[in-house]
Amino acid sequence: MRLLHSLARTHASFDDPNLVSHVGLVPVMAVAQRAGLADLVAEYVRPGGPCGVDAHLKVPCLVAGMAAGADSIDDMGLLWHGAMTGLFGGVRAPSTLGSHLRSYTWGNVSQLEKAGREFLIALTGQAPVLPGAGTLAFIDIDSMQERVKGGEGTRSKEPGSGTPRSRGNRCWSGG
C-alpha cells in the first residue's frame, strides 16, 4: 500500500456534526459509571471554595479526558469536539476543570486517592479478569523455554541434547 499523493497535497476534513473522534470513551465511561466513580467522588472528595463544587461531575470529565489522551487542561477541549456532548452529559469546559483542580489542597488529593482506591475495588466487580475464580492467579509473562546445549554439567557433548530449562522467570509487579 502506498499514498497516491504527496503529504503536502493530502488533506482530511471532518465537518460532520455527528462525528465522534473518541468513541472508545463510551464503554470506558459506562464501566466507570457502573462502578460508581461519581458517587465515590461525591462521598470522599470535598474541595473548598466556589470552584470546588460539583467534584462528582468534574472528576469524571478529567478521567474521560485523560483516557482519551489529554495531558493538560488545554487538551480537555477534546471533550467538546464533534458529537461528544451528544454522547455525554455534564461535560465541563477546560477552564472550569482547571479552576476546579486549582482548588485542591493536599488533603483533597488524599481524599481523591481514597476515592480512587475504592473505585479500583469497585472496578474488579465490573470487569473481572478471571470470572468465577475464587483465588488469585499468578501469570509469568516473561519466562522463556529453551533447549539446553551440551556443556558444563552435562554428560553429552552433542549439540541439542539436554532437557528444556526455564530461563528468565521474573515477576512483574507493575511498579
Please tell me the total number of residues recorded for the chain in this structure.
Answer: 175
Query: pLDDT tens, 19-72?
Result: 777 888 988 999 999 999 999 999 999 999 899 999 999 999 999 999 999 999
Q: What's 51's DSSP letter?
A: G
Find cell 493536599 and name the residue: 106
d(CA 65, CA 52): 19
d(CA 84, CA 76): 12
Q: Does the model's pTM come out above 0.85?
A: no
Query: pLDDT tens, 163-175?
Result: 444 444 444 444 3
